Amino acid sequence: MAKGDQIFLCYARDDWQRVEPIYARLSSEFRPWVDKKKLRPGDRWRSRIPAAIRDSQFFLVLLTSRSTNKRGYLQKEIKEALDVQDELPDTGRYVIPVRLERCPIPDRLKQIQSADIFETSGWTGLLDILREEDTDTGVSKLLPTRGVDRLERLTAGGVQLPCFFPSISSAAKNSLDPLDHLRVIVSLGFPQFLISAYDLGSATQDHRRQLQRLLLQAATKGQVVLLDSGLYEKRWLNTRGWTKARFRKVLKLSTCHIAFCYDDPDPPTGVGKISTQIIRGVSEDKVGSGFEVVAPIVHSKSSIALPDICMKIARAVEIPMIAVPERELGEGIFECTATIRRIRKALNQLGNYVPLHILGTGNPLSILVYTWAGADSFDGLDWCQTSVDHTNGRLYHSLQLDFFADQTEFAGDLEMSYMTRLLAHNLEFYRIWMARIQSQMAGEGLIDMIDEFMPNEFATRLKGMV
């Protein structure tokens, strides 16, 4: 087990003096999570603790004679962990009862073999499990990626990787509509972009005709079109009429190179059920639309289950790439990065490279870190909702473009409308930024970029994950 992995310690508060030495011993080799050490004044522990449980590689229940009789939050933590356990394959090892002394094991944990660390062999056995590097346990371990060469280009459309798809959406928070955004992207010839099937299907007849004409023009110019499922717009615009049938009709009639499947943002529980549902959905979208290049979007209530779900899907169906929403990877960038590395390692076990797309990531610095972690493709609305500083990749309010008027020919061109200047300025940045990341893929180039653009403390901690 790599040191970057997290181990949640569940215990009764009365046992803290006995738990603290265990925490210290584990800290020398692993990354244990315990509320006494991790929660700070002002933290909302009712949300932090469940999140920490779901983003841990193992959940250790530290048992004594006192704790086995405890009620309250200890039991809630165990229930939360058992829910995570249920989402893993039957062979998945996640919850581990750890007896600190001879004591009964709670009924709900009796079906799981315990580690008795009051015996020398118990400690040895527990450490062997925590150090295990075999992903057959069900939770893919956080390890560097080796053995499978990264693709230089997407098989569909030939887009150079890693790449960023600026998203076109009616849910974007600015004064322009999807047709306006598309005009700018097509006129500037940005190599690839994402457009929502919802916006194509919901547009007026005149706008739909103009959108489709521009998509055909873009494809003719060599720009690659990625068609999104429209579920994002359905959710944020609170629309009920966007159905699978309408999505497939749009897919059948639209010009695009790749399409995401009609996804389920509220998936069932369990790796097997989620995988089966997505595999069936991809196949049905292909049949229902007559379009073959359909990529799955994976949703899961637990980030721990994502690597195994992705691997099962990629093993079962031929796909151009596989997508996961950034918001479901974890709470912060370190958790998201760790999840991406686990997904990448799981996918690479298949022996062929499967590109990983991260939905909703348009922040340039996040793109850099996630590329280092093993992601290949990104989309986001940041390009049309913020102003980017070309010198450091940081995003500012969309009204602050004038801070950067000297950075591009577009930003200071007062003959253009403000929003057109903003979009052109930002697209020029993403073109340069992605080209630089692409040029740094070999050797330690990405690490050098991280050292250049990230705070020192962050970069040091990030590199410590390997």
What's the rounded mean pLDDT across residues 358-365? Answer: 98
What's the rounded mean pLDDT across residues 366-373? Answer: 97
Residues 5-58 have pLDDT tens digits of 689 999 988 899 999 999 988 887 788 999 988 887 777 777 788 878 887 889
For the ranges 56-65, 314-323, 375-384, 397-406, the lowest mean pLDDT is seen at 56-65
23 is a domain residue = yes
431 is a domain residue = yes
367 is a domain residue = yes
315 is a domain residue = yes
378 is a domain residue = yes
* Domain extent for 418: 163-463
- Looking up residue 123, the CATH number of its domain turns out to be 3.40.50.10140
Q: Are residues 128 and 171 in the same domain?
A: no
147 is a domain residue = no
Q: Are residues 116 and 172 in the same domain?
A: no
Domain count, the chain: 2
- Looking up residue 222, the CATH number of its domain turns out to be 3.20.20.105
In the prediction, which pLDDT does 281 show? 96
At a CB cut-off of 8 Å and minimum separation 6, what does 298 contact?
Answer: 274, 278, 306, 309, 310, 313, 322, 323, 324
Q: Are residues 244 and 282 in the same domain?
A: yes
How far, in whole angstroms, is CA 164 from its chain's centroid? 15
Q: Are residues 326 and 436 in the same domain?
A: yes
Using an 8 Å Cβ cutoff, are 165 and 181 in contact? no
Q: Are residues 95 and 168 in the same domain?
A: no
Q: Are residues 72 and 173 in the same domain?
A: no
Residues 140-152 have pLDDT tens digits of 443 334 458 899 9
For the ranges 45-49, 118-122, 362-366, 444-448, the lowest mean pLDDT is seen at 45-49
Q: Are residues 215 and 291 in the same domain?
A: yes
Give yes or no for residue 3 having a pLDDT over 70.
no
3-state SS string for the chain: CCCCCEEEEECCHHHHHHHHHHHHHHHCCCEEECHHHHCCCCCCHHHHHHHHHHCCCEEEEEECCCHHHCCCHHHHHHHHHHHHHHCCCCCCCCEEEEECCCCCCCHHHCCCCCEECCCHHHHHHHHHHHHCCCHHHCCCCCCCCCCCCCCCECCCCCCECCEEEEEECCCCCCCCCHHHHHHHHHHHCCCEEEEEHHHHHHCCHHHHHHHHHHHHHHHHHCCEEEEECCHHHHHHCCCCCCCHHHHHHHHHHCCCCEEECCCCCCCCCCHHHHHHHHHHHHHHHHHHHCCCCEECECCCCCHHHHHHHHHHHHHHCCCCCEEEEHHHCCCCHHHHHHHHHHHHHHHHCCCCCCCEEEECCCCHHHHHHHHHHCCCEEEECHHHHEEECCCCCCEEEHHHHHHHCCCCCCCCCCCCCHHHHHHHHHHHHHHHHHHHHHHCCCCCHHHHHHHHHCCHHHHHHHHCCC
Give yes or no for residue 69 having a pLDDT over 70.
no
329 is a domain residue = yes
